[in-house]
Chains A and B, each alone.
Chain A
Amino acid sequence: MAELNSGGGGGGHKKGGKKIRSKKQSARVDMTPMVDLMFLLITFFMLTTTLAKPKAMDLAMPDKDKKQPENRLEIADNRTLNVLLGTDNRLEWYMGQVEKPLTPPTVDSYGKNGIRKILIQKNKEVLAATGDPKKGLIVLIKPSDQSKYRNLVDILDEMKITNIQQYAIVDITDPEIDLIKRDGIYKDKK
């Protein structure tokens, strides 16, 4: 720092070897080097440490019972929303079963203006239809081979945001792959 230190601190300067009376020393200490050191340490700590702790999203998968494949829960068609995750951050959704979907399959995007609107609306409709707050929408998430891990986290995040209690990650079936292929969000392997 360009600054003249004239306000004491050092004992008086000698002039021409003449003995001078020792001055009364000021109690002030120059703090500049200390501040420099402090900021150096702050910079060091800021660069070497991570502040944002990673977050953990809990995920419970359905029990895979290999011995008793018939021991499966039947779920009502009109409560089921299938979400097929395709390539290019696109998804496709329909209600019911793939053979006879209750709503025409629609290609949509992730986020606030995409699937979230559908989820909220469908959940309301299902709750009104069943009249039981415990019987809400059931979402089956079916990631295709061409979806990214990010898409999976995004859709799980939507479940948390829209507060849908029942959802599961399920393997995609061949008719569904044909469906997303038809709608252009699944590309043939080169």
Chain B
Amino acid sequence: MPKVKVPRKSTIIDMTAMCDVAALLLTFFILTATARQPEPLPVDTPASTVTMPQPDTDIGTITIGQGKVFFGVKDQPVRARMLEKMAAIYKIPFTPEEIKRFSLIDNFGVPIGNLKQLIAMSGAQRNKEGLQPGIPTDSTDNQLKEWIYQARYATKELNNKDMRISIKGDAQEDYPVIKRVIDILQDQEVNKFSLITSLRAEDK
């Protein structure tokens, strides 16, 4: 048997193809993904088989979790207008600087009296879990109702569209808390709204 001579090969691999794949993946991720917003109230949404994506414009989101209620509006001009209206109702003056800062807050959950302190905080401080106590929803001091009402008003005024309302509730939240929010909406004759769910992986 003749001796087989193993040729010594170079250890260099051509990385160009691998680089191409990496660049392709990178492009895909940049184009499809949306940045994750930091949330002061993390909720675990229940799963459903609905595949309709959540609309992006003219939407107000009520986040419910741990018995607390948070509220946020998507459009920044609407946020500013909403605050101006709320300031007039509750007679708490806000400076233009504060209104500008408020319009950058995605969602919040403090009684309006504490809103000034919240605006003064930095983003990281504000999103600390358990810091914001939630918007009062009880019948004696129903601030959530006012917020929703003014947000709808401001959306109509600025964009000439009806604001859609979505409820983003935690899966383990007790029904009475959800019911209270739905009742607040129904009192304003908002009978149609969406529930935010995540996609169910498989049909159990």
Pair from one complex: yes
Query: Contact residues of A with B, CB < 8 Å?
Result: 3-7, 30-32, 34-35, 38-39, 41-42, 45-46, 48-64, 85, 111-112, 143-154, 156-157, 160-161, 169
22 CB < 8 A contacts A-B = A31-B18, A38-B23, A42-B22, A45-B26, A52-B199, A54-B45, A54-B168, A54-B198, A55-B51, A55-B52, A56-B53, A56-B166, A60-B191, A64-B187, A146-B175, A149-B46, A149-B169, A149-B178, A154-B46, A156-B48, A160-B48, A160-B49
The reply to whether A61 and B186 form a contact with Cβ atoms under 8 Å apart is yes
Question: A12 CB to closest chain B CB, in angstroms?
Answer: 17
Task: List the 10 closest pairs (A to B, CB-CB), nearest first.
Answer: A31-B15, A38-B22, A49-B33, A56-B194, A150-B171, A153-B46, A45-B29, A56-B54, A157-B48, A150-B46
Please, how many angstroms separate the alpha-carbon atoms of A16 and B187 in the complex? 91
Q: Is B172 an interface residue (CB 8 A)?
A: yes
Residue of A nearest to B168 (CB): A54
Residue of B nearest to A143 (CB): B175
Q: Is B64 an interface residue (CB 8 A)?
A: yes
Most buried by A among B22, B54, B200, B204: B22
Most buried by B among A52, A59, A62, A146: A59
Residue of B nearest to A113 (CB): B204
Chain A residues with Cβ under 8 A from B25's Cβ? Answer: 38, 42
The reply to whether A149 and B173 form a contact with Cβ atoms under 8 Å apart is yes
Dominant secondary structure at the B interface: mixed
Please, how many angstroms separate the alpha-carbon atoms of A56 and B32 in the complex? 19
Most buried by A among B14, B50, B179, B193: B50
Chain A residues with Cβ under 8 A from B33's Cβ? Answer: 45-46, 49-51
The reply to whether A57 and B50 form a contact with Cβ atoms under 8 Å apart is yes
